[in-house]
Structure 1
Amino acid sequence: MKRVLVLGVRAYQVLLSPLLPAACRYTPSCSHYAIEALETHGALRGGWLAVKRIARCHPFHAGGYDPVPDPPSGPPGPRRDG
């Protein structure tokens, strides 16, 4: 699943992004952030981080340097399956 999402972001970078004016308020750009988040955190958490980042990328937010957070350290917590 992660590969499919990364492929989608890369397709956007190659096919659509060159046709649009540069508008991202952040460093790294939202598409680079999305790829790094997916590679670092996987499809579910990385995808959620990318969605949150894109939602913050608007004219009313200052933007600036916003790196992908480090993965949580230590063993995973208990599972909550229901």
Structure 2
Amino acid sequence: MNDASAADDLGPTSTFDATARLWLGAWRHLIAPADGARCGFYPSCSRYAAEALHEHGPVRGAVLTTARLMRPQDAWRYPVCVAGDRRFLVDPVPEPRR
């Protein structure tokens, strides 16, 4: 699955989710293409945000996303995957607490 469809396959569960999906979609379709791929993590930062908000809800999802955006991209902390000519640090969304 590509990042462009990330918001489309995670159905909204609240007004906040719908608003977040709108902003993530605008980011993916308007800003990111002009700015280029910059996220060094896999999944991409916008995909991570969509998954975190969907799986953890608005409060914890926003906290996880903010922490991800502020996290240093130190290669020694994460497993590395290669896609084409780029290397990504693997940092998935944590499983929801039960």
The two structures share one fold, judged by TM-score above 0.5: yes
Gaps of 5+ in 2: 1-15, 79-88
- Structure of greater Rg: 1
Higher relative contact order (CA 8 A, sep 6+): 1
The CA RMSD over aligned residues, in Å, is: 1.4
Distance 1:57 1:30 in 2: 13
Partner of 2:95: 70
Normalised to the residue count of structure 1, the TM-score between the two structures is 0.78
Aligned to 1:8: 23
State the identity as a percent: 39
Normalised by the length of structure 2, the TM-score is: 0.66
**Runs of 4+ with deviation above 6 angstroms:** none
Superposed CA deviations along residues 49-70 of structure 1, whole A, max 9, x for unmatched, are: 0111011155xx3261111011
Aligned residues: 71
Aligned partner of 1:19 in structure 2 is 34
Q: Unpaired runs of 5+ in structure 1?
A: 74-82
Distance, in Å, in 2 between the alignment partners of 1:26 and 1:57 is: 10
Tell me the residue number matched to 2:53.
Answer: 38
Q: Which has the higher strand share?
A: 2
**Which residue of structure 1 lines up, in the alignment, with residue 64 of structure 2?**
49
